[in-house]
Amino acid sequence: YLPSNKMPLNALKWFQNANIEVEDMSGKFELHGPLKSFPFDDHVGWFSGNIFLKNGSLNYAPHWPMAKKIIGNLFFRNRSFQMDVVSAEMNQTPIAQTKIWMPRISSDESVDWLFVQGHANSRSENGLAFIHNSPLEEKIGKGLKVLQGQGTMKLDLSLQIPISKQPLPVTTKGKIDLENNWLKLTDWRVDLKEVNGILNFTENSFSAQEVRGNVLNQPFILSAKTLADTTQVNLKSHNS
């Protein structure tokens, strides 16, 4: 919605690589002020848009699972934009109540920021697959290969994505809430049943505290954390 000569090269490159595609959309735009001042950095006017999207797709960051089948609303206001996603799919995981926004597209080559806050109710195996099929695989995914899981989960994910000339790391914060899961510790060949608890991860680390369940018909408490490219798991039975 911004002419290319009104955007810095790093932001223009992001929009080109985002491969934004929409099967169906409708909405409206409003412009108030002299066209020569667009996009109104001098505050003498404003430009806004409100668009409903159906079956859209967005490649929000390199090497991360693309958002597909997007249904939601896209809002523009001068140099900012925001996408409120009602439903979508990432790596075959249904996504709901997700917000993607850029507070300001700079007029120069300074670093801009794209933010993603997403939520999903899905299967724990899909949550682990999301980690393995993203840049998180390099730092924490390899260590998590000792875990296999089945069951329901709630996923909360927050990304801060720098839009800049030079590649900069994506800041990641996530939480997986396991609900009555089955987990297999592949190195130990141990099956954990009725597992409930929270797994936390960032771009560099993975941890779990007070995860509870049953093993060999005995209750247990599990904790875990990443160390280099491995995951340290501590399992303690209540009766031990």
The pLDDT value given to residue 214: 93
From 46, 49, 50, select the one nearest 34 (Cα to Cα).
Answer: 46
Cβ of 47: how many Cβ atoms within 10 Å?
Answer: 19
Dihedrals φ, ψ of 12, to 5°? -60, -40
The 3-state secondary structure of 2-28 reads: CCHHHCCHHHHHHHHHCCCEEEEEEEE
- The C-alpha atoms of residue 139 and residue 221 are separated, in whole angstroms, by 25
pLDDT at 159: 95
**What pLDDT score was predicted for residue 238?**
66
d(CA 140, CA 127): 13
Rounded Cα distance between 180 and 170, Å, is 31
Answer whether 80's CB lies under 8 Å from 103's CB: yes
pLDDT mean values, one per 10 residues, the chain (240 residues): 72 84 89 86 88 92 91 90 92 88 83 91 85 85 76 92 86 92 81 91 87 91 77 73
Task: Give the residue among 66, 61, 62 at the shortest CA–CA distance from 89.
Answer: 66
d(CA 225, CA 78): 44
Q: What is the pTM of this model?
A: 0.85
